[in-house]
Structure 1
Amino acid sequence: MKIHKNIFFFILLLSCTVTSAQQTPAAKQTESVLITGATAHIGNGNVIEDSAIGFKDGKISYAGPQSGVSASEYNKVINAPGKHVYPGFIAANSTLGLVEVDAVRASNDQADTGDLIPHVRSLIAYNAESKIVESCRPNGILMAQVAPRGGLISGTSSVVQLDAWNWEDAAIKTDDGIHMHWPNAFRSEGWGFSGPSEFKPNKEYEKEIQAITTFISGAKAYLKGDKAPKNLPYEAVSGLFDGSQKLYINTDGEKEITDAVNFAKENGIRNIVIVGGGEAHKVADLLVKNNIPVLLSRPHRLPSGEDDNVKQPYMLAKMLSDKGILVGLEMSGAMERMNTRNLPFYAGTFAAYGLDKEKAVQIITENNARILGINDFSGTLETGKDATLFISEGDALDMRTNILSHAFIQGREISLESHQTKLWKRYMGKYEAGR
C-alpha cells in the first residue's frame, strides 16, 4: 500500500511539473510584420515619431518614418498609434537560469568549487525553462548575459535570448568573457560583543592579488609553450590575450579599480570591463584614458562611502556618461534573479536623477550590447539587426506604463504569459466577480 501511495504522489508531482512548465518557444518567423504609428525608441538615443518598424525572416528590414514604407510589402500589420516600440532590453551579468529555488541546492548552479576556474562554463548549466526567466519577458527583458559567481576567477559567461527549448538554442554569443572578482582592499569585521562591524585593511589583499597574478603568468607561459600536459583552466583564458574575450572585473573601490586596471595592462589583457563600479567616478580619468566601460550595479542601494551623497548611486550613470565613459547596467546583488525583471525601472531611476531618458534606454540596449559584444546584431532598431523588440503601451522605464502588448525575439512573436500573470488574472477575476 505504501508503494502504491509513493507512486501516486510521484505521478501527481510529475503532472504538476508538466502543467506548470514554461510556454512552448515560438516557431520561426514565416510572415513578415510591420509595426506602424508607434513612437520608436531606436536604442542609440534617437526617437522616431509616427514610425514604422518592419521585419522579415527574423531581421529588421525597415526602421524609419511611416511615410517611407508601404504596408502592402508586409503580410501582417500591427497598428500601434500612441504606443512605443523598443529594442529588447539586455540584462548583463545575471544568474538567470542558473538558480531556480535558492533553498534547493540541486537547483543552484551559479558557482562551482575552486577559486581559479575560468574553464567552468555557465552556459551549459542554463535552464531555458526557468520560471524566473519567463517572468522577465513581460517587462521587455529579452536577452541576458548568464554569468558565474564565486571565487577569484569564477568562470566563463555567455549571452542568451530568453525564448528557447534548451541552452543550445538560447545561446546567441558563447563564452564571451571571463569573470573575475577582484579582492577587497578593506574588509568588514563582523558584529560582536564590542559593537557593530567596522572596515579594516584586508591583510590578505596582496596575497590574493598574487594568486591571480601567478595564475595569469602561468597561463601565458603555458599558451606560449607546447601545451603539455593539457591544462583546461589555462586554455580557457587564451581569449584574454588575443582580444577575442573580455575580462569582466567585479570591483567597486577606487583603489581596487586602479589596481585591477594596472594589472590588466601589465599582463597584456586589452579588453576589460569594470563590473559594479561604485567608486568609478573617482577614477573616471583613468577609465577614459584606457577606454574601459563600466557595468554599474543596480542603483537602489546605499553608497559605498559613509560621507557620500546618499543619492550618489542614482546619479552615477550621469556622472560617468558626462565623462565620456560607456555605461551599462548589470544585475548582481541580493535577490538578483527575481529582481532582474526590474531592469528597466533601475534604468528609469538613472533617468529620474539627471540622465537623459533616451540615454537611460540606451544603457540597457545599445550600451549593454556594445559591452557584451553583440551590438552587430542587437541592441538597436536598425536595418539588418535581429528583430528582437517589443511594443509597450507607454514609457517602458516606468512600471506604471510598462505594459507590453507584443514581443518578438528574432522575429518570433513570444508569449507574455508567466506564472505571475496567470495568478494576476485569476485573482482579478475573483475580485471582479465579488463586486
Structure 2
Amino acid sequence: MRNIQKYIVLSLLLGTFAMTYAQQTPAPKQTEPFSIVGATAHIGNGEIIENAIIYIEDGKIKSIKPASGVNEVFQYKVIDAKGKHVYPGFIATNTTLGLIEVGAVRASNDDDEIGAFNPHIRSLIAYNAESKVVESMRPNGVLMAQTRPQGGDISGTSSVVQLDAWNWEDAAYKADDGVFLNWPNSMRRGRWWLGEEPGFKPNKDYQEDIDKVKSFFKNASAFSKAKDATDKNLPFAAMEGVFNGTQRLYIQANAEREILDAIAFAKAMNISKPVLVGGYQAYKVVEKLKAANMPVIVQRVQDLPAMDDHDYDLPYRLPKLLADAGVMVALGYDGEYWQARNLPFYAGQVTQFGMSDEDALKMITSNAAKILGIDKTTGTLEVGKDATLFISEGNALDMRGNKISKAYIQGRDISLETHQTELWKRYSEKYARD
C-alpha cells in the first residue's frame, strides 16, 4: 500500500512539473480589431513612421499611418505604445529550428537523413512545434523561421514556419519552399583517421563530386519531363519544383571557386530561382551574382575569420559589402537552431560596420521574405499584409533596447513566456525574499 501511495504522489509531482514547464498554449485567432497607437513604426523596407497608428483586423494590417494633429477617435481597443517601437516579426533563415532539441541527445535530433541525394525528405513533417527552443525565439522578436534538413549532397526540402502553433500542420506558413544543395568542397581538411596530414589541401575529387551532382540533376530534369513515366522515383519527383520555378534551389557554398562553379551550374541547369547560402567569399564575385540574379543568405556574422590571413572583421562587414554592390542579402546561420534567437543582434552587429539600422533591419524582414518567396503576405508593416509584428521598448537590434512587451502572429496575441522566463521569475523571487 505504501508503495502505491508513493507512486501516486510521484505521478502527481511529475504531472505538476510537466504542466509548469509545458509549451505555452498557442494564441487563439484574432476576434476583435485593435489599434497600436503612438509608436515609431519601422516598416521593414527602410521607411519609418513616427507616432504611427496601426489598425489590425482579421489578422491583417488594415491601416498604417502617422497620427494626425487632432485627437484620433478609436472605435476599438487601443494599445498605447507611445515612446515605443513597432517592428515586423523577424524571419530566421537557414536554421534547423524545431528539428533539434538537445544537440548532445541523439534521440532528440531529426535534422539529417541517411543517403546523399534526399530532395524528397521534408523538414516540415519533423518540425516540433512544442520545442522549448522554438518558444525561446519569440521574446527576441523572431516570429518566423525557415527550417531545413542537413547532411548529404542534397539535404532535403525546407519550409517556412510561424513560431506559435499546436503542430507542424498549424505552423506551416510556406510548405516546401526550396531544396538545399550542399555544393562540393574544393578544399579538404586532412583526415587523420586515414593517415593524412592535418590542414587544408585541394580536394582531388572535386570535379568528380560535381559530376555526381550534375548527373543527378540531369536525370531528375529528364524525369520531370517524362509525364508518361510509370515508375515513381521519389528523389527525382521531388525536384520538379526546382525546375519549373515553384521552388528555390538553395546552394550552400563559401569559397570563391565553389561559388563561381555553383553560379555556372545553376545557369546550365536552367534553375530560375537559385539562392546562395553561406557565401563567405561572395564579395569577390558580386558582379557574377548580380548577373545571375542570385541573392545571398550569409552565414552568421558573429563569427571568426575562416583563415588566419583574413581581415578580423570580414564576417561583420560581409553583408554590407554585398548590399553596397547591389546583391540582395539576408542574415542567416550555418543550419543552427538555438542561436536563431540572436538574429536581431546579428543585424545590430552589422550596423557597427557601416550599415544603417533600417538597412540592417531589411536583412531580417523584407529581404528574408523576398528570398523565401513570402513577401506578398509578410516581412513589412504594410496594408494587406499579415499582422505579424511586435512592440519593443527600444531599438530591437540592440540587446539593451530589445525588450518586447507585445507580439502578434497574424493578429494573434502570442505568449512571450518561456522556460527561461519562468526560471528567471522563480529565482528572482527567491533572492528577493532572502
The correspondence for 1:330, drawn from 328, 332, 335, is 332
Give CA-to-partner distance per residue, 1:295-316, whole Å, 9 cap, x none: 0111111223332211011011
Query: Matched residues in 1 for 2:83 and 2:242: separation?
Result: 46
Equivalent residue number for residue 361 of structure 1 = 361
Equivalent residue number for residue 167 of structure 1 = 168
Equivalent residue number for residue 408 of structure 1 = 408
Query: Matched residues in 2 for 1:142 and 1:94: separation?
Result: 13
Equivalent residue number for residue 236 of structure 2 = 234
Query: Matched residues in 2 for 1:433 and 1:14: separation?
Result: 27
Equivalent residue number for residue 152 of structure 1 = 153
Aligned to 2:427, what secondary structure does the other structure show? helix
Q: 1:351 to 1:115 in 2, by over 3 A?
A: same
* Paired amino acid for 2:275: V
Query: Matched residues in 1 for 2:184 and 2:428: separation?
Result: 49
Q: 1:261 to 1:321 in 2, by over 3 A?
A: same
Equivalent residue number for residue 25 of structure 2 = 24
Aligned to 2:113, what secondary structure does the other structure show? coil
Query: Matched residues in 2 for 1:67 and 1:267: separation?
Result: 54
Q: 1:183 to 1:361 in 2, by over 3 A?
A: same
Q: 1:318 to 1:19 in 2, by over 3 A?
A: same
* Contact kept in structure 1, 2:396 and 2:402, CA below 8 Å: yes
Query: Matched residues in 2 for 1:401 and 1:123: separation?
Result: 33
Equivalent residue number for residue 295 of structure 2 = 293
Aligned to 2:364, what secondary structure does the other structure show? helix
* Paired amino acid for 1:415: S
Give CA-to-partner distance per residue, 1:6-39, whole Å, 9 cap, x none: 8986775555334421111001001111111111
Q: 1:426 to 1:195 in 2, by over 3 A?
A: farther
Quote the RMSD (CA, aligned, Å).
2.1
Equivalent residue number for residue 417 of structure 1 = 417
Q: Shift of the alpha carbon at 1:73?
A: 4.5
Give CA-to-partner distance per residue, 1:319-369, whole Å, 9 cap, x none: 100000000011225xx2221110000011011111111011110000000
* Contact kept in structure 2, 1:143 and 1:162, CA below 8 Å: yes
Equivalent residue number for residue 97 of structure 1 = 98
Equivalent residue number for residue 273 of structure 1 = 275
Structure 1 gap segments, 5+ residues each: none
Query: Matched residues in 2 for 1:72 and 1:170: separation?
Result: 36
Number of equivalences: 431
* Paired amino acid for 2:98: G
Confirm or deny that 1:282 pairs with 2:289.
no
Matches within 5 A, 1:24-423: 24-67=25-68, 72-190=73-191, 197-225=198-226, 226-332=228-334, 336-423=336-423
Query: Matched residues in 2 for 1:131 and 1:215: separation?
Result: 38
* Contact kept in structure 1, 2:190 and 2:196, CA below 8 Å: no
Deviates more, 1:284-293 or 1:62-71: 62-71
Aligned to 1:34, what secondary structure does the other structure show? strand
Structure 2 gap segments, 5+ residues each: none
* Paired amino acid for 2:361: V
Aligned to 2:115, what secondary structure does the other structure show? coil
* Contact kept in structure 2, 1:109 and 1:125, CA below 8 Å: yes
Aligned to 1:116, what secondary structure does the other structure show? coil
Q: Shift of the alpha carbon at 1:103?
A: 2.4
Q: Shift of the alpha carbon at 1:401?
A: 1.1
* Contact kept in structure 2, 1:186 and 1:199, CA below 8 Å: yes
> Normalized against structure 1, the TM-score is what?
0.94
Query: Matched residues in 2 for 1:427 and 1:248: separation?
Result: 44
Identical amino acids, percent of aligned pairs: 56
Q: 1:204 to 1:52 in 2, by over 3 A?
A: same
* Contact kept in structure 1, 2:93 and 2:368, CA below 8 Å: yes
* Contact kept in structure 2, 1:32 and 1:74, CA below 8 Å: no
